[in-house]
Structure 1
Amino acid sequence: MIKGLHHISAFTKSAKTNHYFYTVVLGLRFVKSTVNQENISIRHLFYGDYQGNPGTLLTFFELKRAGRSYNETNYFSTITLKIPKGTLSYWKTRLAHFSIESHVDLENQRLFFKDPDQMELSLIEVDDIILTENATKHSDIPQSNQIIDIFEAELTVKRPDETLSFLKTFLGLTPTNQHSQLKDTQQSALTFVGSNKKSSLSRMGRGSIDHIAYTVSSAKELEELYQKAVHHHIIIEQYIERGYFKSLYVKEPNGLRIEIATETPGFTLDEPIEALGNKLALPIFLENKRAVIEAQLEDFQ
């Protein structure tokens, strides 16, 4: 049922700095400029491949007063993105060109670095290359070197066995041959669950990941998961129509937020594919508030 990851959402202190890093440095496309539907004063930025496909999407809520984050007990940690085989040295050189420190883990062949909000990222080589129709066009990064999609999301929790059980029994993810690592039905993305026995509480701030979202094909499958959550008394935060997709938000046993989102209708609902991200886009149910929203959001591009 779960086809892979849909998106990962985090907090940024500056939309302008965030936009530069993800579109210029990493070469992702800015696919949607919108707002937090629960708080329309907060800008919501989406980045991904050229078509804004699920599984490629990193999204950020701009919190201008966000303080430092403290990852102590239960939190989402490193996001790993796929790059083509043989391009790790290219990316290390590129990051250095932009004065971004990085280091290579030779054992796992990953390049680790941080974004401007100190969110942990890594790149891993895979036997693949981004499809021509998905390759971004604005960037100086050759198609043969471009980021493909999300490889792995990582959760660090106090009781990992409970989280692993939740991911297997509720979402239907299956173990890989690596300890504490799970895969979806299409094996397009992985989820890793690490252990942390600290007693101090984590504090959300800039660079914190708010939630990770998995993909299902249809609203029918999402409804089945909703009914399953109700039946098993899983904490449900929201079951809601987002316009670009429909979402179910639940809490896993350690309290981290997990979203399940539909694959469709997608970001071309209100913008043609060639114009994605060019304007402030709002779902139909927020159009009547456009004037208010535009008045309170500063231009950042």
Structure 2
Amino acid sequence: MINQLHHISAFTKNATENYDFYATVLGLRLVKNTVNQENTTMRHLFYGDYEGTPGTLLTFFEIPKLGHRVDKKSYFSTVSLAVPSHSLDYWQRRFADFNISTTLKNHELLVEDNDGFKIALVEMEEQIAPHKATKHTSIPANKQIIRIAKVSIVADQFKETQRFLSDYLSLKQENDTFFTEQHLDQTTVLASQSKDRTRFGRGTIDHIAYGVDSNDELEGFYQQALTDQWTIEEYVDRGYFKSLYIKEPSGLRIELATLSPGFQLDESLEELGTHLALPPFLEKNRTAIEAQLEEIK
């Protein structure tokens, strides 16, 4: 069973600028400073609530020489983040204080980070739990970002992508929107208007991840993917969670990830994100890995 969105992973050109936007401006906590496990020269940053709860996580791979992206045939589009009711005015003023342009449209506050990653803040009848509110920021808890609310997919294989979400992932469908089991997180599928090739670049979303409760459930999805003949890219233990990567029919990468053991595998709750963290199987290579990474300034 898919119970929620787990995380969304994108590309950034500069880790320092990325940190300034997500930790300083948005007030999210850097909960894991690690590396791409397939390419340990590439830094991987995870931001979320104070506890690094699945469903709050935005992650970024740093590629310094990354060019501009071209969104054409199939791509992941705007990510919506839930904020409490009556807080958009606060956020509009906060972005203005940082000289960041915003657009208010259809009750959503639209903004882009330094890489052109598109974000919409949407008001919800919710508020972040006190123990999950971040502590390093001046943003009061009753204004803080709560979780990922929605992601949009632009798909050239529109019907087939919808079938993947409804039949394989068993998401609940209402028109072109798909809901997780808790009926909180949304995935909207939009029909592509282009046949030209999409090119990855700054701000491109590499994949979206949905959360599953256990290794046994993940194994069930793996076996079903084999039966359904979906394109399986990787089935791997990341240390912090176990992951299954599948290409959906429009060629976009979908990850299924377990909710545990989580980021306290190698850091205490108070220490999350404070130093370069490596899962146990990479720890033996720490000296070489650290030598290849520039510090976040």
Q: TM-score scaled to structure 1, two decimals?
A: 0.98
Which aligned pairs between 1:163-182 and structure 2 lie closer than 5 A?
163-176=161-174, 179-182=175-178
Give the distance between the partners of 2:288 and 2:202, measured in 1 at CA.
Answer: 26
Query: Paired residue for 2:21?
Result: 21
Query: Paired residue for 1:119?
Result: 117
- Counterpart check, 1:70 vs 2:70: yes
Give the distance between the partners of 1:199 and 1:247, measured in 2 at CA.
Answer: 31
Give the distance between the partners of 1:220 and 1:198, measured in 2 at CA.
Answer: 39
Query: Paired residue for 1:244?
Result: 240
Q: 1:157 Cα deviation (Å)?
A: 1.0
Give the distance between the partners of 1:148 and 1:271, measured in 2 at CA.
Answer: 23
**Pick aligned residue for 1:277 from 264, 273, 278:** 273
Query: Paired residue for 2:154?
Result: 156
Task: Please list the CA deviations of residues 43-97 of structure 1 after superposition, one character each: whole Å capped at 9, or x if unmatched.
Answer: 0000000000000000000000000000011000000000000001111111111
Residue type of the alignment partner of 1:165? R
Which aligned pairs between 1:64-143 and structure 2 lie closer than 5 A?
64-106=64-106, 109-143=107-141
**Pick aligned residue for 1:192 from 188, 194, 199:** 188
Give the distance between the partners of 1:196 and 1:296, measured in 2 at CA.
Answer: 39
Determine helix, strand or coil for the equivalent of 1:78: strand
Residue type of the alignment partner of 2:136? H
Q: 1:252 Cα deviation (Å)?
A: 0.4
Moved over 3 A (4+): none
Task: Please list the CA deviations of residues 235-290 of structure 1 after superposition, one character each: whole Å capped at 9, or x if unmatched.
Answer: 00000000000000001000000000000000001000011000100001001110
Query: Paired residue for 2:259?
Result: 263
Q: What is the CA RMSD across the aligned residues, in angstroms?
A: 0.7
| Greater CA drift, 205-214 or 158-167 | 158-167
- Asked whether the 8 Å contact 1:248–1:260 carries over to 2, the reply is yes
Query: Paired residue for 2:9?
Result: 9
Gaps of at least 5 residues in structure 2 are none
Task: Please list the CA deviations of residues 120-163 of structure 1 after superposition, one character each: whole Å capped at 9, or x if unmatched.
Answer: 11000000000001000000000000000000011001121111
Give the distance between the partners of 2:140 and 2:264, measured in 1 at CA.
Answer: 25
Identity over aligned residues, as a percent? 49
Residue type of the alignment partner of 2:232? I
Query: Paired residue for 1:59?
Result: 59
Determine helix, strand or coil for the equivalent of 2:244: strand
Give the distance between the partners of 2:99 and 2:185, measured in 1 at CA.
Answer: 29
Residue type of the alignment partner of 1:6? H
Residue type of the alignment partner of 1:51? E
Paired residues, what number?
297
Task: Please list the CA deviations of residues 160-206 of structure 1 after superposition, one character each: whole Å capped at 9, or x if unmatched.
Answer: 11111100111010113xx3101011112110101112121110001
Give the distance between the partners of 2:119 and 2:162, measured in 1 at CA.
Answer: 22
- Counterpart check, 1:208 vs 2:201: no
Give the distance between the partners of 2:40 and 2:183, measured in 1 at CA.
Answer: 36
Give the distance between the partners of 2:136 and 2:183, measured in 1 at CA.
Answer: 29
Q: TM-score scaled to structure 2, two decimals?
A: 0.99
- Asked whether the 8 Å contact 1:3–1:188 carries over to 2, the reply is no
Give the distance between the partners of 2:193 and 2:105, measured in 1 at CA.
Answer: 24
Query: Paired residue for 1:46?
Result: 46
- Asked whether the 8 Å contact 1:163–1:254 carries over to 2, the reply is yes
**Pick aligned residue for 2:219 from 223, 226, 241:** 223
Gaps of at least 5 residues in structure 1 are none
Q: 1:105 Cα deviation (Å)?
A: 1.1
Give the distance between the partners of 1:91 and 1:192, measured in 2 at CA.
Answer: 24
Give the distance between the partners of 1:71 and 1:197, measured in 2 at CA.
Answer: 11
